[in-house]
Chains A and B, each alone.
Chain A
């Protein structure tokens, strides 16, 4: 797109994409190798991927280069996955295909509601508390601490969700999240209370 404030030369696009594609192909060979690890192959694969990133970043700059390279790596790898598709005939499942099953837990409605409250509400309260505490108390420029604090909220909330849903002990999760919330909001609102 010549109208954009970045020109993407076709040669760079092709060279970078080919390097990433070659890297994923080599990694595929290394990871699918059944007779032990192949460190040289793995090293070669990652080196090609790194070279692809370098080509994109060198030519397009760090911001555009990284974005283009990450996107191209994803698509190149999916192409390699699709090209290596193993078509199987319909047959009963063999023992080799048995999956590792999720933990079978006894559950009921009160427990499910309690888990939802923990994962969605209490994790959210705790995450917002920590994010706002960061935004208020960190010794950074105001924009930096507010933006990074804001960015922390979804990350912490998501991590809290994942943890509370995998932890079978509801009381432990509840107590920890309450402590985290008290600490977070304490730090966030303490300056206001003290003045």
Chain B
């Protein structure tokens, strides 16, 4: 997180010795370069994932919105209807209901059977009826790119978790190689030396966004590595039984008793909670092994002034409460567990917090990008430029907005069947552009323009497809934000060299 391109006038001795700083810088540089592409992709897709509920609404802008929070009656109706539909779809095993009012004004219902592999996602109305199936392939593509990089789930989670660890490590080494952390905290020089400009951008965004960077990398790493950690813990203390280990921290899990049982009375369960806590509102609910004797209903209810999505209360099928997660007022471990996801995704405080997370997520993405451009500029300064790597990094960096544009366009045009293939093809095409472009700067300019065109085309296609059917105003806001992104990508290229700093490739 640092390139100490600052004045060398005599000054007070720093508490970090120069040799230590140089060694830290070497480690920071090696780690950053090794993980740069992965960190960059995870950060950029993570920034988009903050708005995944808004993107879902953009993709289905005529679906019903529900005012306020879910009522017990609405939930009971939704559960019964969803179970019927899940039986019809041969997927009646686990059911998840996300209520309106928390992160999105939609009632969303998902069910899946891990044995048959069948799943279904629906949007419900205010009465708890299943209104229509969720059709949001692009949002799903973006979220999966961030969470598992479209790899098999176990491997994807591990790799993203490892990327989080690498990011956390870079933050530690970056901080330790920045002896003038406070003195330079507001230096931002634009123009002149390209390396100095990039270093200032890298350091200022890195240092001032540090609380956010630490929180998202730490929580992301833990979320990604949790299966591995709990696996080892289960071996050490739970006879290798991972479910038993998970149940210690997440509450009771459904048992294997598959005898038929009635659909649980979730309305009564919600009332049980609100009788004790009148200010608690419904957030989400999970029913494991629905309508089976071993079913467990976990209801997450949120109280005012707390960050977690909700405090989990678990019930058996008869309505007997078995567990209170303590996410809001329990022990320190329970409270940490409760804030991990809200703090990672920025879904705890409405659109203002989401926008803040968007800005800081973008800042972290820029920190990653400039980390490599500083290394490339340093090599030029030292008289050993790497034009090949300059092209490669321009292709990696600027292919992503282009790929998000092409996949959005494809999702709107032909559905979600080939989005991963289109993403990879766009990536490959970006490298082809880098192969024929004059240098890294030309590669970046070409890809930025193409990215802007692709994103604008996706917005145009969206308007053409949905046009008069749009009933959710969020669709217009998302389209406007996408056009703003396209404009931000294209403007510096079209204005041509507004920056007074010479691009890397032109400094030879």
Interface residues of A (CB under 8 A from B): 1, 3-6, 8, 13, 27-28, 31-32, 60-61, 63-64, 67-68, 70-75, 77-78, 80-82, 84-91, 93, 95-105, 115-116, 119-120, 124, 128-129, 131-132, 135-136, 140-151, 153-155, 157-168, 188-189, 191-192
Contact = CB atoms under 8 A, between A and B. Distances in A.
21 contacts: A3-B101, A4-B101, A4-B349, A4-B350, A5-B279, A5-B304, A64-B348, A75-B356, A88-B191, A96-B9, A97-B5, A100-B18, A102-B22, A131-B229, A143-B248, A143-B333, A158-B165, A161-B165, A162-B28, A188-B237, A191-B237
Interface stretch (B167-175, B290-298, B416-424): B167-175
A31 B5 contact: no
A97 B186 contact: no
Main secondary structure of the interface of A (DSSP, over half): helix
B172 A159 contact: yes
Given A103-B25, A143-B337, 16 more contacts: A4-B102, A61-B305, A74-B211, A77-B185, A87-B191, A89-B192, A96-B8, A99-B199, A128-B229, A132-B236, A142-B248, A146-B249, A147-B336, A158-B166, A158-B172, A165-B31
B185 A154 contact: no
Contacts of B183: 31
B133 interface: no
B188 A165 contact: no
A141 B18 CA distance: 44
B22 A103 contact: yes
A154 B225 contact: yes
Interface stretch (B138-146, B201-209, B436-444): B201-209
B60 to A, nearest CB: 20
B163 to A, nearest CB: 11
A26 to B, nearest CB: 11
Ranked nearest first, the 3 interchain pairs of A and B with the lowest CB-CB distance are A1-B350, A165-B27, A144-B333
Contacts of B19: 103
Interface in B134-185: 161-162, 164-166, 168-173, 176, 182-185
B480 interface: no
Identify whether the interface residues of B are mostly helix, strand, loop, or mixed. helix
A144 B303 CA distance: 22
Nearest to A145: B333
Contacts of A116: 34
Contacts of B378: 99, 101
Nearest to B174: A162
Interface in B1-40: 3-9, 18-31, 34
A153 B493 CA distance: 44
Interface of B: 3-9, 18-31, 34, 68-69, 100-102, 105, 161-162, 164-166, 168-173, 176, 182-193, 195-196, 199, 204-205, 208-212, 217-218, 221-222, 225-226, 228-230, 232-233, 235-237, 245, 248-249, 279, 281, 302-307, 326, 330-334, 336-337, 339, 343, 348-353, 356-357, 359-360, 363, 378, 381, 500-502
Contacts of A167: 23
Contacts of A142: 248-249
Given A78-B209, A90-B500, A153 B225 contact: yes
A27 B249 CA distance: 43
A99 B500 contact: no
Contacts of A93: 192-193, 195-196, 381
A157 B199 CA distance: 26
B169 A158 contact: yes
Contact of A148 (B100, B226, B281, B333): B333
B182 to A, nearest CB: 5
Nearest to A96: B7
A90 B336 CA distance: 49
Contacts of A91: 192-193
A158 B28 CA distance: 11
A3 B184 CA distance: 42
Given A63-B305, A162-B176, A78 B205 contact: yes
Given A63-B305, A93-B196, A151-B336, A100 B25 contact: yes
A124 B281 CA distance: 40
Which has the most chain B C-beta neighbours within 10 Å: A74, A120, A188, A192? Answer: A74
A191 B239 CA distance: 12
Contacts of B164: 154
A142 to B, nearest CB: 5
Given A85-B190, A93-B381, A146-B249, A166 B307 contact: no
B33 to A, nearest CB: 11
Given A71-B356, A96-B8, A159-B172, A136 B30 contact: no
Most buried by A among B165, B199, B226: B165
Contact of B331 (A101, A144, A162): A144
Given A74-B360, A142-B248, A151-B336, A103 B229 contact: no
B248 A146 contact: yes
Given A98-B8, A143-B334, A158-B168, A5 B25 contact: no
Contact of A97 (B7, B105, B331): B7
A162 B173 contact: yes
B139 to A, nearest CB: 20
A88 B189 contact: yes
A116 B35 CA distance: 11
Contacts of A128: 228-229, 232
A68 B211 CA distance: 12
Given A159-B169, A165-B27, A191-B237, A97 B101 contact: no
Nearest to B212: A74
Contacts of A63: 305-307, 339
A21 to B, nearest CB: 13
B149 to A, nearest CB: 17
B128 to A, nearest CB: 18
Nearest to A34: B9
A166 B21 CA distance: 9
